[in-house]
């Protein structure tokens, strides 16, 4: 399973790697998976629900679902895990298979371009296996429609031939459990979402939870991590275990070279300063976005495409990598007319906010921190980085 998982991660990283992600790879606080993460992340993953730190409600619910299925001697309902990247959805899928005592088959939505790709994978499943589809919201429509029948009746119809002579051959599939993971549950079609018997949303982690994760990771990696250093790293990890573990590895590098391998709070602070991660977890690009929004556009409102040009990045990078954390941190507000810098953004840059800085002259309702980009958000831009509120975006239909 480990070799298959590594191949899956490597293939996924290759598909997603482009010029924008190449630039982001230099920042240790991106929650996206980087090619260098695979081997170490595999060793740090929890292997059971008891080992999994954080997400207490999700763990309790999953425990009931899995134990109920085992008591009945059947397969559990299909499971959908949603939430921002880096919170443990893949780890949870691996734990589900381990708790059930079955094999785990891994793939991703972008890899299932044709119905035949899915049919080949389904035909190789043994009874009770867990099929994990990451980024399930990106599955191609022909494969998705085939998945409907497989989820409900454990069979698929394979079309042989073309044109008038084409025939449909029914193919039985062994009973299995599908675990889907998505960062954008609102992008799932209704028919697909309705076929999941259990759905769970994974939230950002609190600093004490991240500190426990760091202590566990340090023990596995053989790092001499002091408690105050773990707290320092946890506070800069943006509520995300993947970022916390990545920062821990960068701090370890610094400690091995310049501090005799001991990670104290002072060492952690010095290391993270070298890597451009400030005390609240902002990196170079985050600060560039805030600086452009405040200094170049007077606090906004401004569209995401215009903002991206100002910082020399792709709109998708600004919208999907920087913006969720800035919104959650209360520094950026999303309005019908564009992005607006809040008073917190001005203060973060050491500037005095004008009276209208809180809303940019527009009434902005307070929002729950977990409901940005990743849920059904009316402000979420269209696919491909098109921003309906951006007057400078040529792709906007007027």
Span 73-111, pLDDT tens digits: 889 999 999 998 889 999 999 999 999 999 999 999 999
**Which phi and psi (to 5°) does residue 279 adopt?**
-60, -20
Residue 92: the pLDDT is 93
How does pLDDT run across 270-322, given as a tens digit for each residue?
A: 999 999 898 888 888 888 888 888 888 888 788 888 888 888 888 888 887 88
Is 162 a known ligand-binding residue?
no
In sequence order, which residues have a C-beta less than 8 Å from that of residue 104 and are 6 or more positions away? Answer: 1, 4, 5, 93, 94, 97, 129, 130, 132
Is 138 a known ligand-binding residue?
no
How does pLDDT run across 167-195, given as a tens digit for each residue?
A: 777 788 889 999 999 988 888 898 999 99
What 3-state class would DSSP assign to 156?
strand
Would you give the DSSP letter of residue 188? S
Beta bridge partners of 302: 339
Q: Report the percent of the chain where pLDDT is more than 90.
A: 37
Is 312 a known ligand-binding residue?
no
Rounded Cα distance between 36 and 30, Å, is 13
Is 195 a known ligand-binding residue?
yes
Cβ contact 228:265 at 8 Å: yes
Is 226 a known ligand-binding residue?
no
Quickly state the pLDDT bin for 29 (edges 50, 70, 90). low
Is 70 a known ligand-binding residue?
no
Q: Please spell the DSSP secondary structure of 72-110, one letter per residue.
A: HTSPPPPEEEE-STTSSHHHHHHHHHHHHT--EEEEEGG
**Residue the block writes with tokens 């191949």:** 7
Is 91 a known ligand-binding residue?
yes
Active-site residue list = 89-90, 134, 183, 242
How does pLDDT run across 345-369, given as a tens digit for each residue?
A: 888 888 887 776 654 444 444 333 3
What average pLDDT does the segment 53-65 reach?
93
Cβ contact 128:175 at 8 Å: yes
What is the average pLDDT value for the chain, to the nearest integer?
A: 79
Q: Could you tell me whether strands 198-201 and 79-82 are parallel, antiparallel, or unpaired per DSSP bridges? A: parallel
Domains of the chain: 45-201 (3.40.50.300), 207-274 (1.10.8.60), 282-398 (1.10.10.10)
Rounded Cα distance between 85 and 97, Å, is 21
Residue 5: the pLDDT is 45
Is 296 a known ligand-binding residue?
no
Is 154 a known ligand-binding residue?
yes
């Amino acid at each position: 399973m480990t070799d298959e998982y590594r191949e899956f991660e490597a293939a996924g990283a290759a598909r997603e790697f482009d010029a924008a992600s190449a630039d982001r790879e230099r920042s240790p606080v991106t929650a996206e998976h980087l090619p260098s993460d695979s081997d170490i992340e595999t060793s740090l993953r929890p292997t059971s629900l008891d080992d999994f730190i954080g997400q207490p409600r999700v763990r309790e619910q999953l425990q009931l679902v899995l134990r109920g299925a085992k008591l009945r001697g059947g397969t559990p309902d299909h499971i959908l895990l949603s939430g921002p990247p880096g919170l443990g959805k893949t780890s949870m899928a691996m734990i589900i298979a381990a708790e059930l005592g079955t094999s785990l088959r891994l793939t991703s939505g972008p890899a299932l371009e044709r119905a035949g790709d899915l049919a080949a994978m389904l035909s190789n499943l043994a009874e009770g296996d867990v099929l994990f589809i990451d980024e399930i919201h990106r599955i191609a429509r022909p494969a998705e429609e085939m998945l409907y029948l497989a989820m409900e009746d454990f069979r698929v119809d394979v079309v042989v031939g073309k044109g008038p002579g084409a025939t449909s051959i029914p193919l039985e599939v062994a009973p299995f459990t599908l675990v889907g993971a998505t960062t954008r549950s609102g992008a799932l079609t209704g028919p697909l979402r309705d076929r999941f018997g259990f759905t769970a949303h994974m939230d950002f982690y609190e600093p004490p939870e991240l500190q426990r994760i760091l202590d566990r990771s340090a023990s596995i990696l053989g790092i001499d991590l002091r408690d105050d250093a773990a707290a320092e790293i946890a506070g800069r990890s943006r509520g995300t275990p993947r970022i916390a573990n990545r920062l821990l590895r960068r701090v370890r590098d610094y400690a091995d070279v310049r501090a005799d391998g001991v990670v104290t709070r002072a060492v952690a602070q010095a290391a993270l300063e070298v890597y451009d991660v400030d005390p609240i977890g902002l990196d170079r690009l985050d600060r560039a976005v805030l600086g452009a929004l405040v200094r170049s556009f007077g606090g906004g409102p401004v569209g995401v495409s215009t903002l991206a040009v100002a910082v020399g990045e792709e709109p998708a990078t600004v919208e999907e990598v920087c913006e969720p954390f800035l919104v959650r941190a209360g520094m950026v507000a999303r309005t019908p007319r564009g992005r607006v810098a809040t008073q917190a953004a001005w203060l973060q840059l050491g500037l005095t906010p004008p009276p209208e800085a809180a809303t940019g002259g527009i009434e902005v309702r307070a929002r729950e921190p977990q409901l940005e980009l990743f849920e059904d958000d009316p402000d979420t831009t269209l696919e491909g980085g098109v921003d309906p509120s951006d007057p400078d975006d040529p792709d906007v239909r007027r």
